[in-house]
Structure formats: structure tokens, C-alpha cells
Structure 1
């Protein structure tokens, strides 16, 4: 089952009592976007993907905050978060009460020379990630092609925004598979760990869990933030810092975490067998499957 809602984007400060009147459902077999839509022609827009688990949209607040931040970076009209929250609730209400779904939010610049941006959300069944959650993944490191401080020097690269321009990320995943791996970890040209194409990186050294500091070149992961909150609440030590590439091979365990796949432990790194903590990975995913706002 899929659900698509088209929004008439409201100004960020607009207050309307009947928010449901500002979006509408589009049947699966009906046209939804115009040919001139810049999201499809140029990738000129931003997005978020929210996991819906057993009727609950996970981390809605952090995802909407990041959508707004991406819009600001890309000089798009700031989204009305109350409208988006209402649309998310409406979409979730149309989905089955059990199961996992991926809910994608998109804010585009619209049709070229058009009067307004385009906005929609689309929900579809999530892929079955049971195997990778339980058995882990193999990864390779790939050079991202810029230094870890590139965002400060070249803000026009929009590195801190979750944009629709995902061709490079998808190409990196294809390259990983050509090398016999499931996924990749991007590293900067000056030797620092960054993130996965669709995930955040978490390392464990002893009793300390670390993740690359969320600079303008690294997207601050909503799932990673939630998991760090959980670790801190249960007495574990977490830290944000610059992580050198060579620290990957010295870690006791490494995970790639994301909104829909959740936590996937690394079992192989650049062709070498890597220590995999099945028990902790299972505990991470047990937590990540619980309702989280």
C-alpha cells in the first residue's frame, strides 16, 4: 500500500485552523507532478525520510527541524512545520496499523518560473532489513572528493542540506557493490571519516561511542542523535569529534545507522573481516523500533 499527499505550502508563520484543507491525497494511478518540476529536472529541492513503525512516525520533530534547516541552506521558502506535521499524521492514519513504512517528505523549488514551491509526501512499505539488522553488512571506504572542512570554504556546495541531488550517493553504493560490499563509508580527501551515502557512522572504542562531528559537510543524523541520547541515558559515554580514517580499523565495533534500515553492524571493512557485536546491534534495533518522537 502507498499513500501520496500533495501540499499547498504555507508560509512558515501562517496559522490556519483547518490544516487538513491545505493538502490532499492523490490516487496511486493519478498524475501528481508537472513536467517542469525542478525536483525531477535538476534535483532542486530537499527531503527527509521518516520511518513509520506500527502506526507511529519516528523522530518527526528532528526530521522536520532538519527539513527546515535544509530549506534555509538552499534558500527555499521555510516550511510551515505545523502543516507538515498535520500531513504526516494524515498519511500515517491511512496506513495499516502494523508494519514498517518509509515516509518521504519533499520540498521542491517547483516549476521553473512558477509562482510557488511544490511539496508532497509519499509513504510506501519499507524494504525488509531483517537480515542486515541481524547479520550485519560489509563496507568499503570511498573518497568523498573534498576536505572535511569544505563546507566552510564552499557553502554553495550545500553540504549541510539533505538535497534531492543524490546521484553521487547512489553511484557510491553501486561502486561498493562492484567491490563486493553492501555499503560504503565516505572519507574526506584529508583523511577523516564522514558518513555513509544514506547513514551516519558510529564507532565504539572500549566504553566510548563516537561519531564524526556534525560540521557543515556532515549531515546530523536523526537516528544517530536518538541512539546517542539512549546511550547517555543508560550510562554510556558518547562524543562528537573529528575521526581519523585509521580509527575505523582500531574500533571494537562500527555501525551505520539510518532512519529506515536502523542499525547495521559492520562485519567486513575494505575486504577484511571486522569484529561484529551481534548482541549490541540487536539491543540498538530493539530501542530504535520503539515509538520515538
Structure 2
């Protein structure tokens, strides 16, 4: 089941439409060129999580692309309409494929399972809210914007519970490119995800679940649909010191809303925080590594290119601790 609501000036609260009926023009530049922006966020018990952070990132992405989109208040009204309609029809049999982070299911997502790990709430209380805005039909000056609400894929719970086999893939540019070439829109969440999806398909064909991109000068960037975190645990005169690290944004990666929320919670809990640069060797030397995103939440990385990350017991302990902190932000 998917609920579709268009942002329409004639309908201040949004216009409900049939998601099973074609409603986007064939000439829409979001379809023909991937010219648009989007956000995906989790809603629990009908309440969208980190909505201000997602709306702020959507606005930044749009400004980066010189794209005019509706106001935050207009998006919020449409989101409310969509979530209300979803709740009213949630008891109906699902007819659509549940939304996923990666557009498909790799080896770790082949089976369905329910889990409370990774900072998640019970699956029946969750849904996925997607915000999409395009430049509109070719030759016009009227952006198209809509909201969808759909179920969360059970495969995401599997990834949180079982962990991931990840492979490193070069993204094809050096870590300084974002500053030299702003027209490449690095750091914006655009609809042009063909390369990201191709990377995931390649990983699946090689028996891996997901990907961590690296730059040509061998720095860790991000996953195709996630941010990268790593943890180091050290001893200071018998007192454990826990440090959580993520690659810095200067490399042109997307600022992670869920990573930011977890960092704030971890800092309040006494963790030290660090921001890149991070190398592949740093990942393999870490006590634990995770991929984190708004839908998947916190998924531990078991192996990178076939090499185990840390010790399984420590990885599980740290995942449990951080998942509990992340759950406080949901």
C-alpha cells in the first residue's frame, strides 16, 4: 500500500491521488533527466522523525540545484495528509513492494524478520515517508512535488539483526573534487541515483550486501544510501574511552541526519566524537563499523572485502549500546 499526495497550490493540505494510476507527465524532468531532489524519513506511530532536519537538507539540496520547491510548511501539511490517509487504510492488504534503502535486497535481506535492534520500533508502527520534487515538465517553469507513504521493508530489520558483508568500491574522484566542481552537486540528495544503484547491484552480484565508496586518493566516503560510522575503544588508566568517528563532509558526501542524531546522543552519553579523514585501513582497524540511515537505522558491518571487522562480541555490544541511544532520538 502506497499513499500519494501532490503538493498543489489549489489544495493547501495536499491533493490525494491514486498511487496505482500514472500521474507524472512523460516530459517531467525528474523522469527524463533525474533533475530533482528527495528525502526519505521514518515515521513511527504516525509521527515523522527528524522532520526538520530532513526538510532543511531538502532545502539545501534544492538551493544547490537552483530548484524552487514548496515551503517547509507546505511539505509538512502534505505529510500530515499522507500519514493520516495511510493510518486510515493500514488494515488493508498491502499491494506494493515495501520501501527499502537500496532499491532491492541483497544476501542479507533475502529473508524477512522482525527485530528491535538498530534503534528500531516494532515494524507495524513504522512507515516510510518520501518527499520528492522535480524541475517539472520540459519547457515549463512549474516544479512537481509529492509525498508518498509506504511500509518499511522487512529486509532492513534483517540487516540490523544479522549485519552486513560490505565491499569497498572506488567512487571515481578524489576527495577535493567537491570544492573544485560545485556543478557536480556533491553533497546534494538528488534523484540521480543510477550510479548508487549500480554499485549495489554489483555488490550483490559479488555476494556482498552493501558498499562503502572510497575516493581515488583512498579516503572513505559513504555508502550508496548510508553514512559510515566506526568506533574505537581504548583504555585510560582502567577507564574505557569510547570514540565514534565519521568521514568529514569536505569530501562532498551527504550530511547524514541519522548520523547527526546519533552523534548528539552519543556525546551526551560520554562518547568522544571525531570527523575524518578516514581510510580503508582505519575501517579494518576499528572495533566496529556501521552503515546508518533514516530507514535502515544502525546496521553493523561484519566484514569488509571478506575481512572481519573487530571481534563479534565487541561489535554486538557496541551495536546494542548505540542502538539504544539512537532509539532515544526516534
- Equivalent pair of 1:136/1:267 in contact (CA under 8 Å): yes
- 1:200 and 1:109 mapped to 2: Cα distance? 27
Which of 49, 61, 64 aligns to 2:40? It is 49
- 1:85 and 1:291 mapped to 2: Cα distance? 20
- 1:38 and 1:26 mapped to 2: Cα distance? 20
- 1:267 and 1:216 mapped to 2: Cα distance? 25
TM-score (norm 1): 0.91
Deviations 1:54-80 (A, max 9, x none): 222111010000000000001101431
Taking the TM superposition and a 5 Å limit, the aligned residue runs for 1:67-86 are 67-86=58-77
Question: What's the CA shift for 1:241?
Answer: 2.4
SS at match of 2:4: strand
Aligned residue for 2:257?
Answer: 222
Taking the TM superposition and a 5 Å limit, the aligned residue runs for 1:56-135 are 56-96=47-87, 98-128=124-154, 129-135=156-162
Count matched residues.
Answer: 283
Structure 2 residue 280 is the aligned partner of structure 1 residue 267: no
Deviations 1:9-35 (A, max 9, x none): 6xxxxxxxxx95252010233332111
Deviations 1:204-253 (A, max 9, x none): 11211110011261100001000001101111111222112211111110
Question: What's the CA shift for 1:83?
Answer: 0.6
Structure 2 residue 74 is the aligned partner of structure 1 residue 36: no
Question: What's the CA shift for 1:291?
Answer: 5.9
- Equivalent pair of 1:20/1:87 in contact (CA under 8 Å): no
SS at match of 2:249: coil
- 2:15 and 2:54 mapped to 1: Cα distance? 21
Structure 2 residue 24 is the aligned partner of structure 1 residue 4: no
Deviations 1:62-108 (A, max 9, x none): 00000000000011014311111111122222223842211110110
Aligned residue for 1:168?
Answer: 195
- Equivalent pair of 2:14/2:81 in contact (CA under 8 Å): no
Q: What are the ranges of 5 or more consecutive residues in structure 2 without an aligned counterpart?
A: 91-123, 234-241
Compare 37-46 and 279-288 and name the one that shifted more.
279-288
Taking the TM superposition and a 5 Å limit, the aligned residue runs for 1:114-263 are 114-128=140-154, 129-206=156-233, 207-215=242-250, 217-263=252-298
Question: What's the CA shift for 1:50?
Answer: 0.7
- Equivalent pair of 1:148/1:188 in contact (CA under 8 Å): yes
* Residues 1:246 and 1:216: Cα distance change in structure 2 (over 3 Å): closer
- Equivalent pair of 1:105/1:121 in contact (CA under 8 Å): yes
Structure 2 residue 317 is the aligned partner of structure 1 residue 279: yes
- 1:114 and 1:286 mapped to 2: Cα distance? 48
Q: What are the ranges of 5 or more consecutive residues in structure 1 without an aligned counterpart?
A: 10-18
TM-score (norm 2): 0.82
Runs of 4+ in structure 1 over 4 Å off: none
- Equivalent pair of 2:286/2:309 in contact (CA under 8 Å): no
* Residues 1:22 and 1:36: Cα distance change in structure 2 (over 3 Å): farther
